[in-house]
Chain A
Amino acid sequence: MILRRNSLRRLAGAAGIVAGLTSSAAAGDIVWARYGDIDSLDPHRATSTLSLQVWSLLYDTLLATDAEGLPVPHLAKSWTSNEEGTEYTFSLQDGVMCHDGTPLDANDVKYTIDAAFSEETPSVTKGSWGPITSAEVIDPLTIKLTLEKPFVAMIPFLADSFSSIICDSNGDGFGTTTAIGSGPWKLVSWTKGDRIVLEKNPDYKNFGKLAENPGAPHEDGLIIAVVPEPQARLAALKTGEVHIAEPPFDDVPSIKESGELDIIVAENTGQNVFWEFAVHRPPFNDKRARLAVAHATDAAAAISLIYGDLSVQENCPVSRGVFGNDQDFCAQYRPGYDPEKSKALLAELGYSMDKPLETALLVWTGGNRQKLGEVFQAQLAEVGIKASIEIMDIGSLNARVRQENETTTGTTGSMDMMTWSWYDPDILYALWHTPGAYRGYTSPELDAMLDETRVLTDQDARKAKVQEVFKYLLENAIHVPLYTPGWEWVFAVRPEVDGFFVAPFVYPNFSDVKLGG
């Protein structure tokens, strides 16, 4: 559509109608638009990235994450543990206030943990807290957690918003109409499916969160609006109705070129996109078939074609920013792009260009992943693998992958481009320890290694064990890493917004934001 913008603007001006007339945001409000809404304001009731991002604004955590993704002190100024790793004692910062003006102390931490382990309504991430048997208030600023057995992934968990500290003054309506925490922003209202309105917490003290600002946010308010249609988000960014939003992918190059908006790409997202296979039936019950796929995949070329420089190839089963990730280490074991090797393996299995290996290729819809799937499909065809792409939503994909793993007969394979994000390599335990999140590959050998990654308290020893797991997964082509990041990681920002950044694991931060003229 070609329009003479200026003449139309003049027409609008002449009619006495000014752009932005209808904007409901006040002058000091930052407006951030996202494609969807949170599930709950209660950190124990949901798991989506959209929810986590909002909790990180409302609540604080005992620990925080530094720029490299490692846990650092926050509400807890220090912590100690016994030698066995079954008791942790945290000393809390003094003078932290909840949004309702009550002090935040060890009782609030106990309240949060008791709620996570409640008999009636336990947290949906109860398993990730670890085998905590008690939370004991030693004094108002000291809390002791006792674990049934060691669980080292608890420390990084306490830096993630899943473990947000809820003030014990939260009563009825918690999660839907109230959300009392001690974070930089206070809840004003939440209209489900439409918007969340926040105001700054003037008493905020930042101890360890990544932000230059040591206190309350600079701007008065933050509106988190739901705008599902990418083109509408872009239009709202252009009119100034919205300050920050995920742009439509295909428009990123032209946005960059015009310089109208800034493009910010999140780093250390922990997002991992990888190949996995239905391993309980032919052909992928044979390691050689899985390796053939891995060797036929040129991830770097495919990503560059579809995402340009917005994403990079990943060599490890957990992505950059997650404990244990080491590109050089993983590159030694990751089956690299080598079509000739792939063809040789296929020939060993009795396949050829005339008699191709047939498989379904399941892909999660959105984010241009279907286009990426087509590039991979073409790469696989080059060596004689005939992949039929099936595109589906994430819920169906999860269900289907499990169903494929539970199907033990037939000769047509199934492989999928799976996507997971987690702050710790403990995700590999969930995926590949018996019985396995998708009932996929498991072995006693791998189980033993994964068990150890949960109990080794010495960081170096744990890192070595985690990397042993990487080596096993890569050499056996069980979890073939493709790229990172993979979803919701690109932000378009209006030029008057200053100080916006995205902390590791895709947590946008607004404490430093100033809206200029």
Chain B
Amino acid sequence: MWRFLGTRLAMGALTIWITTILVTLLIHAVPGDPVQIMYAQSQGTTPEQIEEVRRSLGLDRPIPVQYAMFIERLLHGDLGNTIRGGQPVLDVIMQRLPNTLILACAAMFIAILIGVPIGFLAAYREGSVVDISLMVLAIAGISMPHFWLGLMLLFFFALELGWLPVSGSGPLNLILPALTLGLSNAAIFARLTRSSMIDVMSQDYVQTAFAKGLPKALVLRRHVLRAGLLPVVTMMGLQFAFMMGGTIVVENIFSWNGVGRMAVEAIFQRDYPIIQGFILTFSVVVVTVAIVIDALYAVLDPRIRRA
């Protein structure tokens, strides 16, 4: 188990290290002079100032030196300052990261709470009307674009009923974006849980258990559920990463102050220090989640611990 976790940790560290290299190269990947682009709309900026920014970003130095400077700063917890506004990037990200994590966790909670039981029920009643209707519902859920579902929820609960606020930051403001994200992910979990459960139920050991005359509920709880949830756990990790970066549409509709919106704004404004900081933070969160998921996987499936 410890060796397994150790390997995972080492791989995670390697991933983050590679990310730091890519992040340094990123600024050179865009055609044209990045600093000129950043200041293209600032009428009063003098050429000396542009040079100064280039110096402060280290862009006048060879790339390996730039990388060394970046790592040195990073080790001191310094991700640089934003181009627009000149604030420390770390502060800007840390102010919003909790919002994104809260939203992703709440949405994940809703997705699992709704998706897994539906999938389980559909598998249990495989081929029945219940199964078919649940799966039609799930396909509708997966196909529904976030922006449409979000706007519909907003119109209904905020505008028509007036139960929830349209925008802002507070516990009540979390409900609608979490529902929007959660519902479409619930559909994914429902489909995955169903197919995985059906797969496990056809396994010999489950058939044997049934043949021995064990009660259905006991077989399902003891033998099917645990094995059947393994792919769902994997999916949780992937979906969590998706929710971290892919919530921009939901964040926009509900004015949720998260990192996704921040990153897109930074890309539009060519604010490289924020983009670099975001990618790095994002990779750390995704790697951490992946390690946690792997550990969870190992707990659920003893075969993995031995491997």
In the complex with contacts A122-B49, A125-B43, A126-B49, A228-B84 CB distance below 8 A: no
B268 contacts chain A at the CB level, 8 A cutoff = yes
Q: Which of A191, A231, A232, A235 has the most CB of B within 10 A?
A: A232
What string of 1s and 0s marks CB contacts (under 8 Å) between B236-257 and chain A?
Answer: 0000000000000000111101
B46 contacts chain A at the CB level, 8 A cutoff = yes
Complex: how many Å from CA A39 to CA B92?
11
Closest to B164 in A: A22
B203 contacts chain A at the CB level, 8 A cutoff = no
Interface residues of A in 352-397 (CB under 8 A from B): 393-395
Complex: how many Å from CA A232 to CA B157?
12
Interface residues of A in 1-26 (CB under 8 A from B): 1, 3, 5, 8-9, 11-12, 15, 17-20, 22-24
Contact B165 A193 (CB under 8 A): no
Chain B contacts for A125, CB-based, 8 A: 42-45
Chain B contacts for A77, CB-based, 8 A: none
Complex: how many Å from CA A194 to CA B170?
11
Q: Which of these, B39, B42, B160, B164, contacts A5 with CB under 8 Å?
A: B160
In the complex with contacts A18-B162, A125-B42, A126-B49, A175-B261 CB distance below 8 A: no
Contact B85 A45 (CB under 8 A): yes
Complex: how many Å from CA A162 to CA B42?
11
Contact B159 A228 (CB under 8 A): no
Chain B contacts for A162, CB-based, 8 A: 44
Chain B contacts for A32, CB-based, 8 A: none
Chain A contacts for B158, CB-based, 8 A: 235, 239
A210 contacts chain B at the CB level, 8 A cutoff = no
Contact A241 B43 (CB under 8 A): no
Q: Which of these, B39, B86, B255, contacts A121 with CB under 8 Å?
A: B86
Q: Which of these, B46, B85, B151, B270, contacts A46 with CB under 8 Å?
A: B85
Contact A1 B37 (CB under 8 A): no
Complex: how many Å from CA A47 to CA B30?
23
Where chain A touches its partner, the secondary structure class is loop
B133 contacts chain A at the CB level, 8 A cutoff = no
Contact B154 A232 (CB under 8 A): yes
A238 contacts chain B at the CB level, 8 A cutoff = yes
A422 contacts chain B at the CB level, 8 A cutoff = yes
B7 contacts chain A at the CB level, 8 A cutoff = no
What string of 1s and 0s marks CB contacts (under 8 Å) between B35-56 and chain A?
Answer: 0111111111110010000000
Complex: how many Å from CA A23 to CA B165?
7
Complex: how many Å from CA A16 to CA B95?
35
Interface residues of B in 221-276 (CB under 8 A from A): 252-255, 257, 261-262, 265, 268-270
Contact B162 A403 (CB under 8 A): no
Complex: how many Å from CA A175 to CA B84?
12
B307 contacts chain A at the CB level, 8 A cutoff = no
Chain A contacts for B31, CB-based, 8 A: 399, 403
Contact A47 B163 (CB under 8 A): no
Chain B contacts for A438, CB-based, 8 A: 40
Interface size on B, as a range, is 35 or more
A252 contacts chain B at the CB level, 8 A cutoff = no
Q: How far is the CB of B122 from chain A (nearest CB, A)?
A: 29
Q: How far is the CB of B87 from chain A (nearest CB, A)?
A: 6
Complex: how many Å from CA A393 to CA B160?
34
Q: Which of these, A192, A241, A394, contacts B95 with CB under 8 Å?
A: A192
Q: Which of B36, B44, B269 has the most CB of A within 10 A?
A: B44
B211 contacts chain A at the CB level, 8 A cutoff = no
Q: Which of these, B36, B45, B154, B255, contacts A127 with CB under 8 Å?
A: B45
Q: Which of these, B46, B85, B159, B252, contacts A239 with CB under 8 Å?
A: B159
Contact B40 A437 (CB under 8 A): yes
Chain B contacts for A236, CB-based, 8 A: 166-167
What string of 1s and 0s marks CB contacts (under 8 Å) between B145-174 and chain A?
Answer: 000000110111011111111111110110
Complex: how many Å from CA A20 to CA B158?
9
Contact A239 B45 (CB under 8 A): no
Chain A contacts for B41, CB-based, 8 A: 47, 394-395, 398
What string of 1s and 0s marks CB contacts (under 8 Å) between A209-230 and chain B?
Answer: 0000000000000000111110
Complex: how many Å from CA A90 to CA B273?
40
A430 contacts chain B at the CB level, 8 A cutoff = yes
Q: Which of these, B40, B49, B161, contacts A12 with CB under 8 Å?
A: B161
Complex: how many Å from CA A239 to CA B265?
27
Contact A22 B173 (CB under 8 A): yes
Chain A contacts for B96, CB-based, 8 A: 192-193
Contact A227 B167 (CB under 8 A): yes
B32 contacts chain A at the CB level, 8 A cutoff = yes
Contact A22 B161 (CB under 8 A): no
Contact A1 B155 (CB under 8 A): yes
In the complex with contacts A399-B37, A403-B31, A124-B44 CB distance below 8 A: yes
Contact B167 A232 (CB under 8 A): yes
Contact B255 A229 (CB under 8 A): yes
Closest to B269 in A: A395
Complex: how many Å from CA A238 to CA B95?
30
Complex: how many Å from CA A225 to CA B256?
11
A40 contacts chain B at the CB level, 8 A cutoff = yes
Chain A contacts for B268, CB-based, 8 A: 393-395
Q: How far is the CB of B81 from chain A (nearest CB, A)?
A: 10
Contact B95 A33 (CB under 8 A): no
24 contacts between A and B (CB under 8 A): A1-B156, A11-B161, A12-B162, A18-B162, A20-B162, A33-B167, A42-B86, A47-B43, A122-B49, A126-B45, A128-B43, A175-B85, A191-B169, A193-B257, A193-B261, A194-B169, A194-B257, A226-B257, A228-B252, A232-B167, A236-B166, A238-B159, A422-B43, A437-B43
Known: A125-B43, A395-B37, A399-B270. 14 other contacts (CB 8 A): A22-B168, A22-B173, A39-B85, A42-B86, A124-B42, A124-B44, A127-B45, A192-B96, A193-B95, A225-B255, A228-B255, A235-B154, A239-B166, A395-B270
Top 7 nearest A-B pairs (CB, nearest first) are A19-B162, A398-B40, A128-B44, A125-B44, A40-B85, A127-B44, A39-B85
